[in-house]
Structure 1
Amino acid sequence: MSESPFRPREKLAEKQKYFQSIHRHTYLKGPMDKITSVAIPLALAATSIYMIGRGIYNMSHGIGKKE
Structure 2
Amino acid sequence: MILEPSVDRLQTKINSKYTLVTLAAKRARQIQLTKRHQLENPQSATYVGLALEEIMDDKLKVKNDE
Higher relative contact order (CA 8 A, sep 6+): 2
Looking at secondary structure, tell me which structure has more helix per residue: 1
Larger of the two Rg values belongs to structure: 1
TM-score, structure 2 length as denominator? 0.29
TM-score, structure 1 length as denominator? 0.29
